[in-house]
Amino acid sequence: MATVLYDTGINPSLIRARRVAVLGFGAQGRAQALNLKDSGVNVVVGLRAGSVSRAPAEATGLSVAEPAVAVSKADVVVLLVPDEKQPKLYADIIAPGLRKQGALIFAHGFNIHFKRIVPRADLDVILVAPNGIGEQVRAQYLEDHGVPALVAAHQDASGRARELALSYAWAQGHGRAGIIESSFREEAETDLFAEQAVLCGGLTHLIQAAFDTLVQAGYEPEVAYFACLHEVKLMADMIFQHGIAGMRESISTTAEFGDYTRGPRVIGEPARKAMREILAEIQNGQFAGELEQELAAGLPAIKVERVRARAQLIEKVGKTLRERMRVRGRSG
């Protein structure tokens, strides 16, 4: 069993003594930069002069500078731009600009584990990966809570990389919820697998297949939408609060019996075999290679699938129902 660490024993002064440059101001960049600021850390956000994020960042009271300037003045650089943009940003700005014996922090292990980025040997290379979206990283921090996180040190040039990782995690509020020591490999592979098998690929295709099954059997699309998609959030909330066993004990006897007796037929050995194959493709680098080809070609498969997804009946029905629910909610 993994050891879960909390704020006790973490040294906040390590990160507070550093000048931190956050590159990127999406959901994670905004949340982490503001959390650092509120934790008493000297932080600057690196954004180009023409970036649409520059004005919103300045409006929060954060210091903003050109990425190269921010990096040149920093002891620690936090790389929070999309994965596909990180290698060029590292090569063009970070590698030549970050001072010797500096530190580089990632929120995802992909580029380090799959060697899309090979950092300078003098740098501490650290992972602090929140187990939550950026909005929750910020919201939980403001509520004096936090989201859990994984931490790891890929390179320990200073001899204090682990301590710095924990200190940075403290500044994000992760120590209030729990910090698990991991590795870039473990974080990258489990994150990709969860996305593909459950959170994105598995869940969305399960919902689509169930919706299609009901509609093709003659049931009204609106009824199928509420039964197969809308209620997913309610069940996810129950699982979040009570775990899988607790959720099952909270639902009707009819639903619980159906879970035990029919669920294994939907997620049976063929599905488990597919999961093992997907995990192997992640571990051996096949998925990373396919993704690299997709990016180099200009995202042709993604563009086709986006169009296909928008054309599905579940999207048309769902858009109408969600708009009606929002209007009803405002008028109520």
Catalytic residue IDs: 108
Comparing CA positions, the residue from 12, 32, 263 lying closest to residue 134 is 32
- Cα separation of 90 and 119, whole Å? 8
Beta bridge partners of 189: none
| Number of Cβ within a 10 Å radius of residue 319 | 11
